[in-house]
Amino acid sequence: MGQKWSQTFPPAARFSVDQIPDLSGKVMVVTGKFECGNTGIGKEIVRALLLHNAKVYMASRNAEKAKAAIEELKKDTGKQAMFLELDLASLKSARKTAEEFLSKEQELHVLFNNGWVIGTMFLMETPHSMDLLMPALIAAASHAGQKARVIFTSSIAASENINFDSLKGTPARKKVGADQRYGQFKLANIVLAREVAQRYDDKGVITVSVDPGGTKTGLRQHMPNWVRPMLNLLLHPPAKGALTPLYAGTIESTDLNGKFLIPWARVGVASAAAQNPQLGQELWSYLEEEVKLK
């Protein structure tokens, strides 16, 4: 109860975007849903990275909205992000996106894997894109004194188990509601982050999972009208929600590998389910089999 309470009502942040070091020469990829206006943690992550001189690729399915957001960010920051079209529901799309990125860049310093709209289960697609981009991450980490990073976005709403039978179009899936699928996805991100941390630690790749905190993003449109006023009392601006992922991706520390961060930029403790090595192995095996079938 203690950490859940602290995640819901975090203390004042001790980390700010002003503490992000100069990122000149660093290449970043941020996945997510990007739109004009004040919506989404992903766009705020991109904004902060641009302001600190990183070269940023925004990977998203909706080209029109993402490009409009890029123009908005250019006006705000004077810097221009680049667009990568990416549909994480499609392995074919993920491969095409990775190929496009690798045709332009040899190294990737940080990959921010952000969440998606409630009710959509992109469980297996995150490792698709990550595995395809792993050579670029390892290349970035090959220089003396450097580490590459992969940041997985989770949530306080992460489930305590993954029902693998519900991940496909089966009768079991029909019995699982959108909120439960969302919770499974968020648990999977923590589990997967821990697996990647173990498997690629010797390659110089630091992997972290984060709960960015409750934020006023486009996800609220999927909530009942009567819930929204109450949520507003608990939620924070998207820029605040970007703090923890930004800390994980930019802070000059090598002690974060495999860690679970909570708002605002604090090391927390993942649930017992997320730390279960058997679940980690099961999830990894499941994803490997799914990739083979695609």
DSSP classification of residue 184: H
- Which one of 154, 155, 209, 271 is the catalytic residue? 154
The active-site residue, picked from 186, 216, 240, 259, is 186
16 tagged catalytic: no
Structure tokens belonging to residue 170 = 């089966």
Does residue 222 sit in helix, strand or coil?
A: helix
Amino acid identity of 173?
R
Closest CA to 15 of 233, 204, 212, 207: 212
92 catalytic residue (yes or no): no
Looking up tokens 């499941």, which residue turns up?
A: 286
Residue 286 vs residues 49, 115, 123, 282: alpha-carbon distances, Å: 34, 20, 10, 6
Give the pairing type, strands 266-268 and 260-262: antiparallel
Catalytic-labelled residue, pool 33, 55, 60, 182: 182
The answer to whether residue 154 is catalytic is yes
Alpha-carbon distances of 30 from 41, 60, 163, 208, rounded to whole Å: 10, 9, 28, 15
Catalytic residues: 154, 182, 186
